[in-house]
Chains A and B, each alone.
Chain A
Amino acid sequence: MTGQTTGKAIELEQAAVHFGSFQAVHPTNLRIEPGEFFSILGPSGCGKTTLLRLLSGFLDPTGGDVRIGGKSMVGIDPSIRPTALIFQNLALFPLMTICENVAFGLEMRGWTKAKRRARAEELLATVALSDHAGKMPAQLSGGQKQRVAIARALAVEPSVLLLDEPLSALDLKLRQHMRAELKQIQARTGITFVYITHDQGEALTMSNRVAVMNRGRIMQTGTPDDVYDRPDSAFVATFVGEMNAVDGKVVTALDRVALVETPLGRFRAANPKGLGPGDEAILFVRPEKMRLLNAGEDEDNSIAARVTRRDMEGAWSTVVAQAEGRELRLHLPHSGRDTPPSGEVTLGFSADAGVILPKGEMSDD
């Protein structure tokens, strides 16, 4: 890459989209910093692709404003926006060679044949595809096509690169490899990346910040650590990572910690939303923050349960236990020397390992 391209900031101000009576995106405020790798994470149909089309220009907001680099983009055609879009199916031009594909944007900008060919070859070299310039897209593998799509988008030197789940068609190994490559390209070019995905692994590993979306609303925006460790809604808590959830009612609430009454007993846990006594609430605990308590060991919270299953995952194992007809999961680091737990056990977790959030919609996957 030449390095002269730099990312631009994106601002949404009360931007909304509705199709007839269906509100695809509720009025949304969002600022994405220049040069940031920003992911929009959500289940299918949550409005994330609509949001992306708002940025790429294939859709104009029915209300509010979209700004890129401080300029309003409403009514500006995709062909002249400083954005480039990488499609989920890549949308390479099947009747053009790889070189022609990469040079397409330059051709449209009226570059001479020799000049755009030279530039395309330069770009193909940076994605290690120099040998394939003369081939047709159908002759390439999935990962190679992926890199052609990236080179084609970068050729027009966009300030913002929009990626619509571009890795979803690849197999796991290749996906992990491409994650690293995308991250590298982003760091090298300094372009603002907006990455749409329903795969939390992708969002968490690559992004500077993540926005979690559901039903046309951004539920939470923050660093990957923020949304994983400090979810502020039942949906984010359950959509990002695995979560044990027990519903109950707040009994007493102090400044930071509250006591919640549940069918499994009373538990102490963090109370970030400042719930008061009597509020309907759900207690969330990550499986890796649950522990098996030894006999007589003391912990902030404890639950008597019966182990029903153990799933070996490799680096850790998931123990599934039943308590009062509810399923609880905990992750145990796998050492290979311990005997797997079985029968009646006591599970425990510290007060800062659990979080009490208002009752609300949970993700069902």
Chain B
Amino acid sequence: MTRLFRAFGAPLASVILLLSGVWILGLIAAPQLIMIEQSLWRMERPEGSAEISVQIDGLYNRLDVIGLDRSAAESETDAAKRETELAALAAEEAAIKAEIAVLEEKESTPVKAYTLDNFGQLGSAHLAIFAKTIVASLAVSAIALVVCYPIAYAVAKLETPRTAAAIMLALVIPYAINELLRIFAWQMILNNNGPANALLGLLGFDPVPFLDSGAGVFVAMVYAYILFMVFPLYNVLETLDSNQVEAARDLGASTWQIHRRVVIPHARPGIAVGCIMTFMLSAGSYAVPYIMTRGTAAPWFTQLIYNRFFEATNWNVGAAYALSLLAVCTVFIFLMMRLLKVSLKDIAK
């Protein structure tokens, strides 16, 4: 910290510290902490509310009985006696009404209770969707990796700078368009009456239900997140010394061996970053599965979370679901780093 002050002077250093603090608190800590807190409680009806209900029911019965008593008392001929009985009944009625009010107040005021039950709401049906989302996101990452690796390698190592720049531009241009529009476009392409099926029809195939089968989600996701795989791969492959590829070839390596022993080991940090990004984006995507399936295929887990919040209006369970997803994503990050023997330092590069 003294180094910071020495390098930038007190005013600038203070600003930097302040901004870092705001960043850490506001962008990292606060949202997570609020979500965690939200997921850990629920509103509960108070202790013994069942007995209270019975009690209240009893009291209402008693009120009816008093009503009967009152009509009996009103037919009393002795005016003095009638007055006393009516007064006594009125007093009793007032007391019971007051008691009911207290009990009802007690019964209906829920109590905030801390519990882990929200996480337990993840029943087997939801758990299956959760698992499907994770597996599907892994598949999207894998497909993106397989598609992007050759592209990134070609751009970084094989093409002339001019061609490489043109390919990169072609990759970036679609991203100038709003994500929703792009997804809607794919929805139309893969529609039963869309151009993809029209083409298949020309070739004599029956229409393929791309959207209803859920395959459309994969296509749109790979398309939507491909850049997040290409760029980390390209960056890391560009730093590979071409002489190493030639040295391996000179020593007798086949193309496959060159990639397995030289290029892929070098690309590990890029592969890790690309996989982590596409996985997180896919697992956390709401719009793509929503638009692409139109409710015809099983939902994505993010849709469940959305529903907890805005349809079941149970924010606590929603928060618990969201945290479960976050936990799995975090585990995935560390798993990828472990698997590819990549440290945080490599990823930061």
Contacts and interface: CB of A to CB of B under 8 A. Distances in A.
A13 B257 CA distance: 34
B248 interface: yes
B48 interface: no
B261 interface: yes
A87 B249 contact: no
Interface string B252-269: 111001000110011000
Contact of A91 (B241, B253, B257, B261): B241
A145 to B, nearest CB: 13
Interface in B230-250: 241, 243-244, 246-250
A87 B252 contact: no
A85 B248 CA distance: 10
A166 to B, nearest CB: 12
A352 to B, nearest CB: 47
B246 A78 contact: yes
Contacts of A87: 243, 246-247
Contacts of A83: 250
A255 to B, nearest CB: 51
Nearest to B247: A91
B339 interface: no
B251 interface: yes
Contact of B252 (A58, A79, A89, A93): A79
A78 B250 contact: yes
Contacts of A109: 252
A89 B243 CA distance: 8
Interface in A55-86: 56-58, 77-80, 83-85
A87 B251 CA distance: 12
Contacts of B248: 93, 104, 108
Interface residues of A, number: 25
B251 A58 contact: no
A268 interface: no
A5 to B, nearest CB: 15
A79 B265 contact: no
A114 interface: no
A56 B243 CA distance: 13
A108 B257 CA distance: 8
Interface residues of B, number: 17
B244 A156 contact: no
B250 A84 contact: yes
A217 to B, nearest CB: 26
A103 to B, nearest CB: 10
A315 interface: no
A87 B244 CA distance: 9
A108 B252 contact: yes
Interface string A138-179: 000000000000001100100000000000000000000000
A332 B71 CA distance: 146
Interface in A104-124: 104-105, 107-109
B243 A156 contact: no
B246 A156 contact: no
B249 A78 contact: yes
A295 interface: no
A79 B246 contact: no
Contacts of A84: 250-251
A279 to B, nearest CB: 47
Among B241, B251, B257, B266, max chain A CB count under 10 A is at: B251
A66 to B, nearest CB: 16
A104 B247 CA distance: 10
A87 B262 CA distance: 16
Contact of B250 (A56, A93, A96, A107): A56
Among B241, B252, B261, B262, max chain A CB count under 10 A is at: B252
Given A91-B241, A95-B265, A95-B266, A108 B251 contact: yes
A58 B249 CA distance: 9
A116 to B, nearest CB: 12
Contacts of B257: 108
Nearest to A57: B250
A172 to B, nearest CB: 24
Nearest to A100: B261
Contact of B244 (A58, A85, A88, A91): A91
Among A79, A84, A89, A156, max chain B CB count under 10 A is at: A79
Interface string B156-173: 000000000000000000
Given A58-B246, A87-B247, A95-B266, A79 B241 contact: no
Interface string A38-67: 000000000000000000111000000000
A104 B261 contact: yes
Nearest to A152: B251
A153 B250 CA distance: 9
A30 B254 CA distance: 31
Contacts of A79: 249-254
A79 B258 CA distance: 11
B86 to A, nearest CB: 100
Interface string B293-306: 00000000000000
A89 B246 contact: no
A191 to B, nearest CB: 15
A58 B262 CA distance: 18
A85 B250 contact: yes
Contacts of A58: 246, 249-250
Contacts of B254: 79, 108
Interface in B179-195: none
Contacts of A93: 244, 247-248, 261-262
B291 to A, nearest CB: 43
Given A58-B246, A91-B246, A156 B265 contact: no
A105 B243 contact: no
Given A84-B251, A91-B246, 20 more contacts: A56-B250, A78-B246, A78-B250, A79-B249, A79-B251, A79-B252, A79-B254, A83-B250, A85-B246, A89-B241, A91-B241, A93-B244, A93-B247, A93-B248, A95-B265, A96-B261, A105-B251, A108-B251, A108-B254, A108-B257
The 5 A-B pairs of least Cβ separation, nearest first, read A91-B243, A105-B251, A91-B247, A108-B252, A85-B250
18 contacts: A56-B250, A57-B250, A58-B249, A58-B250, A78-B250, A80-B252, A84-B251, A93-B262, A95-B265, A95-B266, A96-B261, A104-B248, A105-B251, A107-B261, A108-B252, A108-B257, A109-B252, A153-B251
Interface of B: 241, 243-244, 246-254, 257, 261-262, 265-266
